[in-house]
Each structure stands twice: as C-alpha cells, then as structure tokens.
Amino acid sequence: MSSLDGSIVLISLPAIFTGIKLDPLAPANIVYLLWMIMGYRLVQSVLVVAVGKFGDMFGRVRIYNLGFLVFTVASVLLSFDPFHGEPAALWLIGWRLLQAFGGSMLTANSQAILTDAFPRERRGFALGINQVAGLAGMFIGLTAGGLLAAWDWRSVFWVNVPVGIVGTLWAYFMLRDNGVRHPSRMDWWGNLTFAVGLSAVLVAITFGLQPYGGQTMGWTNPWVDAGLVGGVLLLAAFVWVELRVDDPMFELRLFKIRAFAFGNATRFGGSLAQGGLQFMLVIWLQGIWLPLHGYSYESTPLWAGILMLPLTCGFLIAGPISGALSDRLGARLFATAGMVVFGLSFVGLIFLPVDFPYWLFAALLALNGIGMGMYSAPNSAAIMSAVPARYRGVASGMRATFQNSGTSLSIGVFFSLMITGLASTLPHTLTQGLTAHGVPHTVAAQIGELPPVSSLFAAMLGVNPIEYLLESYHALAGLPQAAQRVLTGHTFFPNLISGPFHDGLVVVFSVSAAIALLSAAASALRGTGVVDSEQTRPASAAPAPLEKENA
C-alpha cells in the first residue's frame, strides 16, 4: 500500500490535473507537478530511519500500527479535495506528505517485525514475500493508476482506504511484538541534522529541475546551490554527531558488518538505476509510442499502465522463488545474479528503437523485473540477518533510506540528463518542424526557445503540447486545415521529439547499466557469514558489541 502510492500518482497525473482543473503546461504549475511526484519520496527518505529507531525504542508493532492509521486517514482526506486549481494542488501535496509519514512507519518496521518472527532458515522466504509486496506495489501502481484514473481521479486514493481500514484493525488485534526493546535517549541533534540536511538536498534537486532565469533548468539558481551545499554540510555534521553520541539515530557502527555495508551499497545502486526507469517509460509510452500507434492522448495513461505489466509479472514471479531458494543456497548468488540480469536489461533497452516492436519491449521489461526480483529478497534477508536483534528496527529504516534516497536522486539525475539532451537539439528541431507546416517563423522560434521541460511534462501527462502552444500564441486558427490536422494529430509531436528523446534515453540507460553492474560487483564482495543476531539480551543489559562479519 505504501509503495503503490508512490507510483500510482505518477501515471494518474493527467487525470488529477484535469480533475482539479489545473493547467499542467502553465510554467507556474510545474512546481506542483514536481512536488506531487517528489514530495512523497522526500518525506519517506527523511523520516524512515527515525521511525525505525522509534520502533526499537517503543515497540515495532506499535509504530507499524500507527503508520496504518495515519496512512488511511491521509488517503481519505486526499480523496475529498474540496478545491480547484492551485489550492487543490496544495491540498493534495500537503496530505500526501502526511501519507508518506504513515508509509514510513510501515516501511521502516515491517522488515524488522518479520525478522523477529522468523528463524534465520526461513527469513529469506518471509522477507521475499515482503519485498514482493513492497516493490510489486510500485509496479502495480503503474497499471492500477491507469485503470482507476480512467474512471475517476479520486479513485487512485480511494483504493488505499479499504486496505487501510482492514489492515489497521487486523494489525491492532492480531500483531504481537516479540522483538527486543531498546530504550534509549532521543538523538535530537542527529535527527535534526539528518532531516534538515537530506531535505535540503532533495528539495534543491526538485527545484533544480525547474527552469530559472532563461535557463532550461534551475542548477544556476543561488537557492538551489545553497540548498545542495548546505545540505551536504549538514549531512557531514550528522556523521560527526552520530560518531559521538551514546544512542545514535543512525547506527554507523553497523557498517562494520560487511554484509550490511555491501548490501546497502547495492540497494542504493539498484534504486539509483531503477528509480528513473518508471519515469522514462511513462514518457516514452505516453508521449511517443502510443500516439504513433494511433492511441489518443487522453487514453495513453491507461494503456501505458497496461503495457508495463511485464515488468510487474517478472518481479512477482522471481521475487518469492529467489527468496525461498536463497534460504538454502545463500543470498550472495541470487542477489549478484539478479543485479547482473537487471543491468543487462538496460543494455537491451539502449539498442531498442523509439518505435519498437512491442514483444521485444515486453521481453526486456520482464527481464528487468526478473532481475530485480532475484536481487531484492535475498539482499534484504542478508542485511537484516547480519545485524544484532536489538538494532533491527534502525537497520530496516537505514535500508529503506538508501532505497528511497536512491529513487529520489535517480529521478532528479535522469530527468536532468534527459533535459540536457533535449535542450541541445529540440529547439532547432521544433522550430524547423513548425515552419515547414506554415507556422510563422517568429512564432515557431518563440515556441522552439521554450524550456524543453514543458514538452517533456506534456509527453508524460498525455497532452499534445503543439496544439496547446499554437492556440496560446493564436497561430493555429490562421493555418490551412490540412496543416492544422497534421500539427494537432497523433504523429507530429512524437516524430518531432523521438530523435532527441532517444539520444537522452541512450545516456540514461547507459548510466543505469553501469550502476547496476557496479552494484553486482559490490554484491559479490558482500561475504557469506552473518553475526549471531538470534542471541538477544534484556533491555537493561549492556549493549552487545557489533561483531565484524567473517567473509
């Protein structure tokens, strides 16, 4: 439920913007679009370690149950947006931040609860099912969003409500906390420096994606630069604080455990490679492939979700199987092989033409899902089995932080690479294409000089930007009917953007493939042993030392 909501909104944005009567292509509204995508992930990245620590202190089931309640209440409030326009967008962004807070409580403590409940020889299977539920929610959200948004945009939030109500009641009556409590003092300085530092970096990245001062992106904005530098300095101060306090929020000593350190490194790399993939696929399908194949712009979100089903199916098949087998054969083999398969799927996508045969596209998506499914459950089991029982909550939160931060950074990095690629070729291509169909050169040049972020968002939102821009410049009505039909048809804009977009895709997928293969190498170096985390102590006992893992 938590991860589904991170992706279901991505594919439902066209219906949401239409439903709240907000113009998605107006430059002033780009900020709302970005925050609907990035705000949810930002909150989860920042808070997940803190709420994992709360689970260690006050009880993992207690925090988990509260997360169900908070998430459900926020989902109800999201579906009853009473406004239109900018106030409606602010309503949705605000309650999604609260929803992300509830989701953080679920994400941070679910793996710790399962690790407490299952013996080591069954832990891979249990955590495999949990990983399937979590990451499959991310993939299923793409399909569910397309289906539900075609009915009513509010339904993308309604879908959480019955699950949340049943889950809240079931968890309160049935779940029992059998983990080790670790009462400790609150690490206020650690929480403050981490939350403000990571927030500053992620907020700066979000605003860096917006045009600024005539530039295609906002990386020259002094506030963006100040946020990045200030955030990095605060995170450095956070590390300094954590190395000196008695009860740190972020247990840096856990990185002395080889399986924990390398497992989190590969988790961050996998999220960095994968996080922007959904974003690129949505733009590719909705803005180019589907219109070229005769689908109306209004129907592209629905069909994009359906066409990405092989990604979900590959993950759902591979996840539980690899989790169960890794209990017997070890995590390193499956996690490393899965990351190699994951990386090879990006190599295949590099050589795929923009107007691809669907069977080949589906095969590569399925391969991508299989690779991530093979990797995720064994890697999580290795991470959680490697730490002493008393640190499972904070370890689960740290693992989720690397995953969420990698996803957020991935969207920012890949989007920047794509915009940079488009900015070098799209203005000339767009101006030349418009003048060739009778648009006055002055108007065509003005449209061509607009920030490419507008065209990219138009592609993602299933909107024909050419018709919108020509009408806004009062240039469409003066053109011959034949030219109007071409310019506002299904193929002009996709054909226009396909060349520059493909150049950006090659860069993006090449970077993803390289990151995935580096992560596979790190996974192979993780070692095979684990600490004896089954041995626990009473809460009043002195902390057990963190054993270093033997390779």
Distance CA 100, CA 37 (A): 12
Q: Are 51 and 144 in contact (CB under 8 A)?
A: no
Domain-wise residue ranges, the chain: 2-184+247-421+499-524, 186-246, 422-498
Which residues are CB-neighbours of 73 under 8 A, at least 6 positions away? Answer: 98, 102
pLDDT at 180: 62
185 or 265, which is more confident: 265
* pLDDT tier for residue 41 given thresholds of 50, 70 and 90: confident
Residue of 393, 395, 397 whose CA lies nearest to 382: 395
Which pLDDT does position 460 carry in this prediction?
A: 67
215 strand-pairing partners: 212
Question: Percentage of the chain with pLDDT > 70?
Answer: 91
Q: What would the pLDDT profile of 351-367 be if each residue is shown by its tens digit?
A: 999 999 999 999 999 99
Percentage of the chain modeled with pLDDT above 90:
16
Write out pLDDT tens, residues 448-459: 877 777 776 766
Average pLDDT over residues 154-181: 83
pLDDT over 50 at 333, yes or no: yes
Question: What is the CATH number that goes with domain 2-184+247-421+499-524?
Answer: 1.20.1250.20
Q: Can you tell me the mean pLDDT for 379-407?
A: 80
Per-range mean pLDDT, top range of 34-48, 80-94, 270-284, 416-430: 80-94
- Of 387, 337, 371, 377, nearest to 123 by C-alpha is 377
- Predicted structure pTM score: 0.78
Residue 472's CB is within 10 A of a number of other CB atoms, namely: 12
Token duo for residue 435? 């003048």
Look-up of token digits 């049943």:
166
**Confidence band, pLDDT 50/70/90 cuts, at residue 160:** confident
Question: Of 265-279, 503-517, 519-533, which range is least confident?
Answer: 519-533
Looking at residues 399-408, what average pLDDT do you find? 80
Higher pLDDT, 369 or 472: 369
| Segment 9-27 mean pLDDT | 79
pLDDT for the residue numbered 346? 94
Q: pLDDT grade, residue 528 (50/70/90)? A: low
What is the rounded CA–CA span in Å between residue 204 and residue 235?
14
> First vs last Cα of the chain: how many Å apart?
37
Half-sphere exposure of residue 428: CA atoms within 13 angstroms, side-chain side? 5
> Given a cut of 80, is residue 332 above it in pLDDT?
yes
Residue 42: strand, helix, or coil: helix
More confident residue, 177 or 334: 334
Nearest to 261 by CA among 442, 128, 412, 382: 382
Q: What percent helix, strand, coil does the chain show, rounded to 5?
A: 75, 0, 20
Contacts of 408 (CB under 8 A, 6+ apart): 38, 41, 42, 45, 202, 205, 275
Q: What is the pLDDT of residue 477?
A: 82
pLDDT band at residue 337 under the 50/70/90 scheme: very high
Helix, strand, or coil here: 462? coil
Pick the range with the lowest mean pLDDT from 193-202, 233-242, 407-416: 407-416
d(CA 475, CA 441): 11
CB half-sphere exposure, 403, CA atoms < 13 A: 25
Residue 418 has pLDDT above 70, yes or no: yes
Angle between helices 2-19 and 300-307 (to 10 degrees): 160
* pLDDT tier at 234, thresholds 50, 70, 90: very high
pLDDT of res. 533:
43
Label residue 342 by pLDDT band (50, 70, 90).
Answer: very high
Looking at residue 536, its pLDDT comes to 38
The residue among 30, 261, 12, 325 whose CA lies nearest residue 148 is 12
